[in-house]
Amino acid sequence: MATKVVRRHTNRPERSVYARPAGGPSKTVCAFWAAGRCTREFCRFLHADAPPSSINPQISKKSSLVWTKEGTATGKGNACNATQKRNAPQKSNSPQKINAPQESNAPQKINAPHESNAPQKSNAAQKSNPTPKNVCKFWVDGNCVKGDRCLYLHNWFRGEGFSMLAKLQGHTKAVTGIALPERTNKLYSTSKDGTARVWDCHTGECGSVIDLGGEAGSLISEGPWVFAGVPNLVKVWNTETNSEFNLDGPVGQVYAMVVGNEMLFAGTQNGDICVWKGSTETNPPFYPAATLKGHTGAVVCLTVGRNRLYSGSVDHTIKVWDLYTLQGVLTLNGHSGAVMSVLCWDQFLLSCSLDDTIKVWAATEGGGLEVTYTHNEEQGVLDLAGMTDAESKPILLSSCNDNSVRIYELPSFTERGRLFAKQEVRTVEVGPGGLFFSGDATGLFSVWKWMDPPAVKVESS
């Protein structure tokens, strides 16, 4: 009987973060299976997303996140705390609602591969149902002629448990910020087109367009306040009094902002962090408090947690500042590329970079921070946002510069789905009630929501 030999390309690495232990069976995911091209009936590599492990269980809804120093992740301990993404999670006294028409294409169901050593499907069967890698570019342009025979997605996302509520169009350049002020039914977005748009959460319609006078670099909200960073200043609105004013002091573009300890922090193009304190006795009700210096490149991300301010920069470093003394206490040097986003979650700090990694930092006994887990991506990572799904499982949204957003379940980094866009998703934001948002470089602003789990019917005996 003739035997067909399949030759592997030795210069093609296995794309997996799981290392194969010496002397034991393979724990590496088959890269050819992931691409839908494995022809081996009894492949020695896994045909699954991740190897089963007794030290890497699925995290329950009452778990906190724990990464061990060996680089694995486990779930145990107390309930997971609410996450912060740059600024504190937005709160609302009334549930936000967006009733814009839903995307016409229903979400595609992607069945999770079984972790099994059973014989795999034939080559023909695998080719007929490959694992989709991305959205069909011809379908995006409206001229795909393959229909159901196309090997790529005809949808803007894949995965289960969430859905698209609306696509909001109006910006003509990259969306750089999304915010939901408290006690309003308005949603704010800013863009490099030099405008801020105010959207009605009930209808999805744009109610007003604000001329910012320059490209917007960032947008946040805190209570009734909305802050937009533009070159050389911060624009401020109060949604309750309809007042507005400018904060001077930044040099260059304002790329990131966060509020902590009743202070506003703004990361700027020249590497400084400008600080203003709130006051009821001054007009405007914010006055300059300090300027934090230390970065040698632009500060592009900020977050607050555990009485500290964390700043990430294109100089490849993360600096840690005391929120009360405003003094620098640590410099973290784990990344080899620009640090694009930092996120405080539970007792951990998460950071992402253009060096294609997401790093998890934990406190040491001496008061420092060390990397306890590194997740590798195939592309640079632009933004991080954290939330919980409808079943209270911790979810990380990771935007990469391949025009997609990965949706991971923590702490295992098991992929739950992906969002796709025509161009890079520059910003990801989390809202109340299971809402989350993405804005891409075309100016498109998308609204998503975790769906409620199906009700369990209990029959009485």
Give tens-digit pLDDT for 308-319.
999 999 999 999
Q: Where are the beta strands (DSSP E) in 169-316?
A: 175-179, 186-191, 195-200, 206-211, 218-222, 225-230, 233-238, 243-248, 254-260, 263-268, 273-278, 286-292, 299-305, 308-313
Domain range list for the chain: 158-379
Quick one: pLDDT at residue 84?
A: 38
Mean pLDDT, residues 363-387 taken together: 95
Q: Is the pLDDT of residue 375 over 70?
A: yes
Task: Give residue 213's Cα distance to chain centre.
Answer: 29
What is the fold, at CATH topology level, of the domain defined by 158-379?
Methylamine Dehydrogenase; Chain H (2.130.10)
Mean pLDDT, residues 167-172 taken together: 95
Higher pLDDT, 57 or 261: 261
pLDDT cut 90: percent of the chain above it: 56
Task: Give residue 33's Cα distance to chain centre.
Answer: 27
- Residue at 145: amino acid letter: V
Quick one: pLDDT at residue 23?
A: 35
Quick one: pLDDT at residue 393?
A: 93
Mean pLDDT, residues 427-450 taken together: 94
Higher pLDDT, 452 or 95: 452
Quick one: pLDDT at residue 153?
A: 66
Confidence class for position 120, pLDDT limits 50, 70, 90: very low
Q: By three-state DSSP, how is residue 138 classified?
A: helix
The CA distances from residue 187 to 170, 220, 246, 417, in Å, are: 14, 11, 21, 25
Q: Is the pLDDT of residue 40 over 90?
A: no
Q: Is the pLDDT of residue 288 over 70?
A: yes
Higher pLDDT, 50 or 280: 280
CB atoms within 10 A of CB 3: 4
Confidence class for position 217, pLDDT limits 50, 70, 90: very high
Q: Is the pLDDT of residue 69 over 90?
A: no
Mean pLDDT, residues 387-406 taken together: 94
Mean pLDDT, residues 94-100 taken together: 37
Question: If 0-12 CB within 10 Å is exposed, 13-18 middle and 19+ buried, where does residue 402 land?
Answer: middle
Q: Is the pLDDT of residue 105 over 60?
A: no
Question: What are the phi and psi torsion angles at 124 (to 5°)?
Answer: -65, -40
The Cβ-side half-sphere exposure at 279, using a 13 Å CA radius, reads 10
Quick one: pLDDT at residue 283?
A: 82
Give me the chain's average pLDDT, please: 77
Higher pLDDT, 208 or 141: 208
Report the alpha-carbon distance of residue 128 to residue 393 in Å, rounded. 33
Confidence class for position 44, pLDDT limits 50, 70, 90: low
Report the alpha-carbon distance of residue 146 to residue 166 in Å, rounded. 27
Q: Is the pLDDT of residue 17 over 70?
A: no
Quick one: pLDDT at residue 39?
A: 58
Task: Measure the CA dihedral 341/364/308/394, to 10°.
Answer: 50
